[in-house]
Amino acid sequence: MNKLILIFSFLISSPINSSEVKSLLSNLPCADQVFKSIAAIGTPKKWSKGKKSTVSTSMEEGGVVVISVSKNISRLSSDAHGVKLQLEFSRPTCKMKITNLTSSKGGFQDVDLGDLLLKNKYGVIYLWSPHMSLSLFELVELQKYVKSLKIPFTILMDLHADDKFAAKLLKKYDLPLEYLNRMNSRELEKFGITVHYPSTVFYKDKKLVKRVPGYNGKKSFKDLIKKYLEVKL
């Protein structure tokens, strides 16, 4: 899996027709923010109604999403790859609140690395740590221009980072939930990705080709991509 795939705790549910689903979802408090978070998880399949004001769906990438509603609050809960997460969105501000985040490690493992190398012809893996200020600074900057590079980027977090501290930083700087995906690949570790935070690994044609430790910046990233991936930007 290339992103943080969150498997939500599943309630026994019964299928409902599309019009009922549309009605339930259109009346969600803070619907835009809720679905932005779901988009970071993956692609929903078919929605079903659960107990009371609850809907659920399995995800194309695996797992289940559950949305529950009470008055002016929407809630999401997850438990996947050793990560337990609970989100809350309340009117009128609709700001995302992480009410629980714990980890027993898990995260991005060798099998996920294998899938990534098969999926993309080339790309970049970026490792950050919430405990390294320069690492965080570059991550915030990277978020501003990464899409413009049009190169597959996989962003992973230090395996041993403090969960609650990392969650606070994501909220403070409005960073995607997928940035909490932990680096737990022995192959990447052997390649030296954990020697420094941040670290950047370039891969091409199903192989890891180069590790670059330290801060880069937009211009340096472009130069490194051209050099090691041999692509035009």
> Which residues does 207 contact at the CB level (< 8 Å), separation at least 6?
117
Q: Which of 16-20, 152-156, 205-209 has the lowest mean pLDDT?
A: 16-20
In which domain, by residue range, is 38 found? Answer: 14-103
CA distance 199 to 95: 31
pTM listed for this prediction: 0.66
For residue 222, give both structure tokens.
């472009």
**Residue 164 CA: distances (Å) to CA of 1, 5, 11:** 23, 19, 26
C-alpha dihedral sign at 164, 165, 168, 170: negative
Of 70, 103, 136, the residue that ends a domain is 103
C-alpha dihedral sign at 28, 31, 33, 36: positive
CA distance 213 to 210: 10
For residue 100, give both structure tokens.
């629980």
pLDDT of residue 57: 82
Is residue 4 one of the residues assigned to a domain? no
pLDDT of residue 56: 86
Is residue 45 one of the residues assigned to a domain? yes
Whether residue 130 is found in the same domain as residue 216: yes
CA distance 12 to 51: 8
Overall domain count for the chain: 2
Domain CATH number, residue 128: 3.40.30.10
Quick check: 123 and 74 in contact, CB under 8 A? no
SS3 43: coil
Whether residue 127 is found in the same domain as residue 211: yes
Is residue 7 one of the residues assigned to a domain? no
Q: For residue 188, is pLDDT > 90?
A: yes
pLDDT of residue 11: 28
Confidence of residue 152 (pLDDT cuts 50, 70, 90): very high
Whether residue 40 is found in the same domain as residue 83: yes
Q: Could you read off the pLDDT of 62-77 as tens digits, one per residue? A: 677 888 888 899 999 8
Whether residue 88 is found in the same domain as residue 140: no
Mean pLDDT of 99-122: 84
Residue 155 φ/ψ, nearest 5 degrees: -105, 125
